Chain A
Amino acid sequence: MKKNPVIEVKNVFKSFKNVQAVNGVDFKIFKGQSVALLGPNGAGKTTLMEMIEGIQKPDKGDILIMGKKWKGNERELHRDIGLSLQETHFIDRLTVFETLKLFAGFYELKRQRVDEIIRIIGLAEKTRSYVVNLSGGQRQRLALGIALLNNPKILLLDEPTTGLDPNARREIWSILMDLKKRSQTSLILTTHYMEEAEQLCERIIIIDNGRILKQGTLEQLLKEDNDDKIIEFALEESNPAIDRISNPSGFQIQWDADRDNGIIVLKQIEKQLPEFLNFLNQNNLRLRHLECRRKTLDDLFTTMTGRRLHE
């Protein structure tokens, strides 16, 4: 059985004045799939999302939602899509309930659905509060609630948890994981947080400078050289210029001057770790801290671009 993709992005380009925000992006998303767009600031995530949402138009390329183009199908597609923008303020002096009711009115939904959503997003105690008096996390949950109102087939969330503390972030994750369990909603979310991508999405698309750098499941992304281990270390000496000292074993040291630590990727840790310690000894460098861990998306990103996901 050949499934039709729910979202199809075909060779899409978009530029602003002198910035090429999206530079030839291609991907397909199938029913029930969750995909994370992972990338640093300015990668083009929002621009790409807004083109999928029909808010911006691509300069070149096509976007098909359930096989349809946006042009001419706006009202129909709007009924099937739920979204939250990277930044939206609602009307300050409407209550949570009134705000949801307003949007429910746009979809011709009954009050019952509003109550349901309030329960789902856990804002029952705040229904009578003005939006302006909500905390950042509560506001994000309200935005998510509005996105979920119409039981969307496709859910598009632009940085749903940015700026939240870990607890508030987990609350949003659990709302979304619940939703995934109960429905066949296809989800795209953008994020800077690798952990969020890992938790919520089976597929991850890493983008930078408007291009897809790599995509696949988390395992696929990390599979190549999966045996690699990461050594992260710090030294007593400050500014050791360690990456400029040649070493006979040939391991690559990436020194991060800002964080004052270094990273080495080791293929055979059992053999190479003693060599590394030996190397430190020979150069009279003393370890302050040493940690061995598995490779993460952050490391993958750093090795691909030389930059970290979020600084």
Chain B
Amino acid sequence: MNKLIQQKQLAQLISAHFKEIIRQPAVIFWGIIFPILMALGLGIAFTRQTDIVRHVAVIENNQVFTENANNELLIHAFLEKHADKIEPSKDKPHQYKITLPDKKLGNTTFVFEKTTWHNAMILLKRGNLGIIMDEKNGRIEYHFDPLNTDAHFSYLKLSKIFGQNGAVVEEGLESVHPLTVHGTRYIDFLVPGLMAMGVMMSCMWGMSYGMIDKRAKKLLRRMVATPMKKSYFLISLMTVRITMNLIESTLLFLFAWLVFHVTIEGSIAGLLTIFIAGNIAFGGIAIFISCRTSNTEVGNGLVNAVVMPMMVLSGVFFSYHNFPDWSIPFIQKLPLTLLADGLRSIFIEGAGYSEIILPTAILLSIGIFFFSAGLRFFKWH
């Protein structure tokens, strides 16, 4: 009898919370369409094979350039001889273009622009170009930021072109094998990251806002003045969130699979397990941070304080291995990192249960800890 009552309470709460969510049109947009648009935009920007275009500044060496015909400048002469001229337009001065054709990796085009040192520096600072060419004593010199890998790339190619003394190299050597297998592309990295982020955002914003709002409206107060079991209220909230997140992530995956042929290499059951563990972790944190305040501004601040560092650190969009070495062990223990890495290991590396047991256990403990703490300190009125 008692069981029956409680089930009825839970069922009613779940149904009410579910309706509450799906009746907000914004939910469809932010939960489903937005992540898909992100995947589409970033996937296209970073995954598709496109021609590479790089701009290079060539310093005009004033007098020498025009007058000294017999000691003709190396770069100038080279460009006159081997490069295509681009007709000067209104705002663009004289430019040259060299294209290195490559069927395997995509073409590389260098656009050379003659300019002063001063101007070149401005363009460099604006990020319009990465490398500046100059010559001294009959030798070509390259100026670029050593930390800029892209400039390194330009330097290597350019030095090769100019080193060959005019013969434009055909790229596409036998020894180069472009990696376009599944799992190494940016989109393969991105989709699990987006899923993890979606779970975090939806739990943190959706759940905490919902609770704070209900507290502010005195609805919580009204609900606990009935025989409603308090934990059921929170459990129903989490159940509905997990279901919504599951639907959202499935749609995102279906989209990525159809458009980018993203696949799940590892165990689907394992994927589901760590996904739910991640939901429980963020659900617990959401309940904890919204367990007392009835002010949505305060709630926003708290949510941001949790969400922002993880967005930056946890490698949703780019690998966190670019952060200093000492910070990596710490970053790897953040819930978002645990979830994103766990999802990635299954998506990309084909991991099974054994690989995700540890992160799943940590996520579950985080969730249960914050859930119980939140329930304990929860302010119902």
Contact = CB atoms under 8 A, between A and B. Distances in A.
Nearest to A75: B227
Given A93-B20, A101-B12, A102-B13, A55 B226 contact: no
A105 B12 contact: yes
Interface of A: 50, 53-56, 75, 78-79, 81, 83, 85, 87-94, 98, 101-108, 146, 150
Given A88-B217, A108-B4, A108-B8, A55 B225 contact: yes
A98 B19 contact: yes
Which among B12, B23, B226, B227 has the highest number of chain A CB atoms within 10 Å? Answer: B226
Contacts, number: 70
Interface in B14-65: 15-16, 19-20, 23-24
Which among A101, A105, A150 has the highest number of chain B CB atoms within 10 Å? Answer: A105
Contact of B227 (A54, A55, A79, A90): A79
B20 A94 contact: yes
B20 A89 contact: no
Which among A89, A94, A102, A150 has the highest number of chain B CB atoms within 10 Å? Answer: A102
Given A93-B24, A98-B19, A85 B9 contact: no
B16 A89 contact: no
A53 B169 CA distance: 86
B160 interface: no
B91 to A, nearest CB: 54
Contacts of A98: 15-16, 19
A50 B16 CA distance: 26
Given A79-B227, A105-B12, A106-B12, A88 B20 contact: no
A105 B13 contact: yes
B8 A105 contact: yes
Nearest to A99: B16
Given A55-B221, A89-B218, A91-B16, 9 more contacts: A75-B227, A79-B227, A85-B218, A93-B19, A93-B24, A94-B19, A94-B20, A102-B15, A107-B226
Tell me if B's interface is mostly helix, strand, loop or mixed: helix
Contacts of A90: 219, 222
A56 B222 CA distance: 13
Contacts of A79: 227
Nearest to B232: A106
Given A94-B19, A105-B11, A88 B4 contact: no
B381 interface: yes
B361 interface: no
23 contacts: A55-B225, A55-B381, A56-B381, A78-B225, A81-B225, A85-B218, A85-B222, A88-B217, A88-B222, A89-B218, A90-B219, A92-B20, A94-B20, A98-B19, A101-B12, A102-B16, A103-B226, A104-B12, A105-B8, A105-B9, A105-B13, A107-B227, A108-B9
